[in-house]
Chain A
């Protein structure tokens, strides 16, 4: 029986186009069924599937990556060429990096940790996450949390609409009781308007030259369409204006804003121009109580965030690497424990059998004599094993796997995986089957 190891097979925004990712993505009950199907395969102990819009990754604690590969090729025959496969330490590192948002499209984004946690929750509910994956995931979560709190990787704004929201929030707090006006049907404008709706805007108004597109856009952003001619009046009604048209000249001029501000009694006014070429006259920004921004202003914020995050990512990678190192060393140390138990039991079995045989030969020995023979046999076992035991423990702690496996083959011991398959089938919450090594017999006094 070959050793089980951790395998990670997956595809992400870096390796596969959306058309393939969407065919293999799974959620809810189908995901549970797929997990159980995975652990139902030969040689698969535990399984976990992380499925988001940017990545689908299958983690298995198994004898090979076959089952995990099949997960993809069964669903999308042409997925094979886009898969990456990682084993052991590499797989651990990959999961840690994903959870810490170092592998994300936008490095440092906040969602991914929650998504991995959810994936782990589903695997627990489906009964496919055993002690190995539990340890692994908890370590990954703790690492991600450390990265988040100890570095600035999650700070700053990474998209134009996010910057727009942040700006508006710093000006108005929230938008309760206020109206957002979307001028033009540009894609960025619609995205930003939607994002701003999250600040609790009362109404979203849409003004567009073409009524047809305007109406469609209004439906899309849950807003009300207003005729283009109403624009001067709308500048009074709305508090935040997002301009995103394809016009070649200024749609909103300083004069228009000045007039509107008089009627508004200088109520604070925020203009965000997402169009190139610009549609809002730059001089608007000089008016008092008017806050005006163009694409360049917003892009600058994004650029500083990206720069800052790049620096922080290096620090985060180092933290992740240290955690991966610690985790794999722990695993190795654990892997040596069964060898020790088996070795001792093996020797004790021999000693016991020889004692029985000797006693049968001798016959008529009194209680004291029998005890002496037994004690002598055990003393030989202990003396003989004392050196190897200490050295094996030392080797295991320092991450050396060769010595334990050499010992196993030297003594002819077959060491099974510490996580028995049944442990994976019914993961006992909070119970650790490894607390006692699988083959440990009650140790003899030494």
Chain B
């Protein structure tokens, strides 16, 4: 562990990171009707600015600073910066992709301007709320902003406004809201238990929780941990709280699915890392509970993914399995566990966004989403095929791709804590995911379509436009780069991990 001192610096960047996208969201909602520049243009510029601000924040943090604002009410450290950078990075690509996918969709026709305005406005509003979740330091505001991310994404899920998407949106909003209310109850219990140790400001800061944690009675920690895991676990999509996830991912437009799977469920993992990880060192029962829940999630999620024929549902179930790796690592509360969890969080964001966008490219070009139907198509889509293979190999943890490195770190972290059974389940799930993605890749890209179909289809389907494949290539490039040169992100991950550990073990 490094012993570099942490310097707390008051900086407006800590709040700009969510105020900027909020301002652009307002511009889109208010003036988006005037022209495309104020709609798609504003969305792109807004999200790009947010990305730049996150990069600036990350730079400051790598120099050993922690940004605060308004006393300690806003607090941005390595973990927050990681989330903010990933969120706005995927955001930029998703907005770029949407220019073709949503605005010029071959089968959707011309969408009313109001729907497009809502679409771009809500994406920016979501990003703003997510950055607020990562920047706030008050334990109750963590809940409020986390719930706001759900509210902002609900109408993105129902974007197509047909029966299935309305139903998926209702289910998503209801189940996640009910689930997160459990987390609220757990947070309130924690808050009430720490009132005697609070300063006069009467706000329970996340950074103070580590100091207070040892003074809170054990039974309250266990009860509130169970409630918080159930609540934020619903947001993260862990089994058995996952019922909303496959429907929402499958019925949302592809760019939104990429956002949901890449970022939205990670917000739940982030909230768990900020609350539960603090109790892991002193409460082995919490670690065990998280490990059992996550082992069930990864196994069930991957087994459900194996039997899906719908490519979006397959990717959605695989997300349940992958987020379980992240939460399991973060729940361990050891250096290796948190490091692996954060590394996998980063890899899964990039890889799952990549996979959803390639699936979107296939759907955009062919209008089909069943793996069996896609297999029977004659296509000439080399870029899409390449990107899909990178994503599939990466996410199933084949060396030398980035998914392998983070999964391997997690195996080691589990074994180090004596949770050998959990490590074995994680390895088995890894093999199952190779089978799952290998099958999909083989069927879609390597089977030659039967002659009869060739005559019927006749035309060869061509590659998607550059606005779509640029983002895919960037994501694929990043994931290959991370697999070959993991030392590029090591300083950032190391810093984030150390800050979490310092919060829980004291300075």
B is bound to A: no
- Give the interface of B toward A (CB within 8 A): none
- Give the interface of A toward B (CB within 8 A): none
